[in-house]
Amino acid sequence: VDLRELGEFGLIGALRRRAGAPASAWAAGIGDDAALLRPRAGWERALTVDALIEDVHFRWRTTDPRALGRKALRVNLSDLGAMGARPLGFLLALGLPSATPAARLRGFVDGLLAEARSAGCPLVGGDTVRAPCWSLAITALGEVPQGRALRRSALRAGERLFVTGELGASALGLHILESGGPRSAAERRFARRHQLPPARWRVGAALLAARLARAALDVSDGLAQDLGHLCAESGVGADVELDALPTAPGFAALCRRRRLDPAALAAGGGEDYELLFAVPSDAPGAALLSRRLGVRVREIGRARRGRGIRWFRGGRRVDAPRSSGFSPFKPR
């Protein structure tokens, strides 16, 4: 199938057929000037948008189209989860070169709609246009009980900070992909972690449902930067123990072999899409929380009165790890 022959309406028709009928939350999906979401008393609706641009956020040389489709939706589900919201549906703005290979487009759509099905988050509308490179913007919509969303502004001094899963894995994976590709099974695992981050949105909804946390965000720009946002929005500071940052087996060894600082990557590497959240000082510890949430979580520090992040190693104050946060306006 050549996209120039299929045309915009051919592509929209194919997406519409494959997206199927929208869930009962929707009065209208694809096929009208706008999608229509039914009202639900007592629930706020959460909206977020994320853009992915070819050769800025991914390169086709190192990207599997199906994984990109899944990732494109996951990064948005991650934002919903960081509010504690349950996904309801999404809109896709898709810019494509005229000469896009059909298999690439099909793989992307397959991955996107597979992720949508597994999250119960149907495609309900969008726009497809010609563009010089792949440029995606996905708007995801979710819902959360009124007044109970997890907020960046809700962190309080004394609360304990936790993070899900592992940090730095995506940044190490990106380094591997950008320097010749993986050369071992271990390297392939990290590369894969960059190509397809974990889906933690259910953890946010579970934290909210169990009334365990009130403050959260997803770690997309690196822990240091994102925790900085959380502190700034809440008007507090934080103390973080570098040795407590959770990393995957083999992470430190692979970093050292590549002359990368493991702590800098764990504290500053982007695109982890792990969930950072805070619980009161008398809340359960990591072991119990991990069991209740169904995912390993690690306590990494504590919020305090004041401003900024203080870093510790084995209890002793150390300098902030060198930043390796991704800035979308600087060439990578």
Nearer to its own copies, 286 or 320 (CB): 320
Separation CA 66–CA 178 (nearest Å): 20
Nearer to its own copies, 36 or 287 (CB): 36
**The only residue of 1, 14, 16, 43 in contact with its own copies, by rule CB under 8 A:** 43
- The reply on whether position 59 binds its own copies by CB under 8 A is no
Full DSSP string of 281-307: TTS--HHHHHHHHTS-EEEEEEEESSS
**The only residue of 23, 36, 210, 288 in contact with its own copies, by rule CB under 8 A:** 36
The answer to whether 246 and 289 have CB atoms below 8 angstroms apart is no
- The reply on whether position 21 binds its own copies by CB under 8 A is no
**The only residue of 112, 217, 265, 297 in contact with its own copies, by rule CB under 8 A:** 217
Q: How many residues belong to the site for its own copies (CB under 8 A)?
A: 78
Query: Could you tell me whether strands 135-145 and 86-96 are parallel, antiparallel, or unpaired per DSSP bridges?
Result: antiparallel
Q: Shortest approach of its own copies to residue 247 CB, angstroms?
A: 24
Cα dist from 276 to 133, 200, 296, whole Å: 33, 10, 12
Nearer to its own copies, 71 or 189 (CB): 71
- The reply on whether position 39 binds its own copies by CB under 8 A is yes
Secondary element (H or E) of residue 142:
strand 135-145
3-state secondary structure of 186: helix
E strand spans, 209-296 = 215-219, 237-241, 274-279
Residue type, 235: G
Cα dist from 172 to 93, 129, 290, whole Å: 30, 34, 25
**The only residue of 17, 21, 24, 34 in contact with its own copies, by rule CB under 8 A:** 34
Name which of residues 227 to 266 contact its own copies (CB under 8 A): 233
**The only residue of 15, 85, 169, 174 in contact with its own copies, by rule CB under 8 A:** 85
> Which residues are CB-neighbours of 319 under 8 A, at least 6 positions away?
311
**Widest CA span in the chain:** 64
Name which of residues 180 to 209 contact its own copies (CB under 8 A): none
- The reply on whether position 323 binds its own copies by CB under 8 A is no
CB under 8 A: which stretch of 35-43, 115-123, 243-251, 261-269 binds its own copies? Answer: 35-43
23 closest CA partner among 100, 87, 92: 87
Residues 112-151, one symbol each (x = binds its own copies by CB under 8 A, - = not), give ------------xxxxxxxxxx-x-x-xxxx-x-xx-x-x
**The only residue of 18, 38, 291, 307 in contact with its own copies, by rule CB under 8 A:** 38
Q: Shortest approach of its own copies to residue 282 CB, angstroms?
A: 26
Separation CA 189–CA 169 (nearest Å): 9
